[in-house]
Structure 1
C-alpha cells in the first residue's frame, strides 16, 4: 500500500473489533513507523504510552467520559509531547547523523548551538512539544491504515485525571489519545470538502483556481 492509499483508506468514523487483539509485532511496527515523523533536528519530542491491560484501559475510559471507541479498542495510546528532548538524547542523535552526513567538527559545533538557541527562543514549549507530537500521532494513524488497523482519536478527555492516573510528569504534555484496533466492518467512504472551500492562493480569501484534480480520494 502506498502512502496515498493509506491516507485514502483511513476513516474518521469506525467501529473496532474488541475480540481481535493487536499482536506485539504489529504494535512494535506501528510505533516504529510513527517515530519517523518529522521533528526539528530530528529531536523526536514525543512519547507513546501504550495501554493494553484491561484495568488501565478502563481507567482511561472513565477519564474519557466513557467514549464508545474505548469500550471496543484492545489498545489505547497516549501521545505525549516532551518539552526538553535536547537534554535527553540530542547527543545520541548527533552521533548517529554525524557520519552519514559527513559533518566536520565545525558543522557539529554549529548544530549544537542551533539546537540550544532554537529551544531557548521557543516562547511556548508546551505548544511546541504538542505540535510535533501531533505530527507523530498523525503518522501513527496513517501507518495504522497501512497495517490493516483502525485508529480513532478521542477528543474529549479529562487531561488532569489522565495525567495523575498514569503518572505523566510535568515536562510532558498530553497531546492525543488514540483508540487502536482492527475495524469491526469496512466503514463507508466519507465525503471531503472541495479544494475551493479549503484552499486559497497567495492571500487569504483569494479564490482557488487550479480545480479539483482527478484524485479519487474524494
Structure 2
C-alpha cells in the first residue's frame, strides 16, 4: 500500500517487516523510493517524525542501494528491519550504508541480509528466566534501549523477546528489531528463531568472520493511504 505525505506528494511505500508465519504482525516501515524528493537531514527527520514508524528509509541511489535511515527522532547509521524491507521491495543484492555494504538475498518467503554486530548502535540485552516473564514486562521509563529476552526452547534456539527503545519519541515498544537480534546472536554465538512483540518472527545465523545473517518475511501494509 502506498501513502502520500505532505503537500509535496512524496510517495511512501509502507511495508511490514519480520511478519509471523501467518503473514501477520511485523514492524511497520516507510520507504521513500525517490530520496531526492526529500533533500536534507532536517526535512527527512521531520517526515520520519510525521509518519511515526519505528524507521523510515530514504533511497538515494536504487541501483547502488544507497539508503538513509531515520527513527521519529534520530538518524541511524544501521538498522535491521529497514534493510530487510528495502531489499525485498527493490529486489536489491547490496545496500550501501555509512558503516559498510550489506549483502541481501531472497530465499523463498524470506529476505536475508548479512551484517555485522559492531554496526549496531548500543542496546542493553537483558535476559529473563522465562518467556512468561518477558510477556509480563511493563514498558520501562525512557532512558535506556532495552532488548528483553528469555528462552522459549533453548535446545532449539527459540527465543521470546521484546524491545523498548527508551528514546521518548513515541515508540514505546518496537514490534521487531533486527539490529538487537544481531547483537543477541553475536552474544550467544548460535542461530536463533526469535518471536518478538505481538507475533513477529526473526531468524538469524552466524557466519564466517563475524558476519551474521538476519532474515524474515516482508509484506505490503494493508493500511489506507495517509496525508501528513
Structure with more of its chain in strand, by fraction: 2
Structure with more of its chain in helix, by fraction: 1
Length-normalised TM-score, structure 1: 0.24
Length-normalised TM-score, structure 2: 0.23
Radius of gyration: which is bigger? 1
Flag the structure with more relative contact order, 1 or 2, with Cα contacts below 8 A and sequence separation at least 6: 1
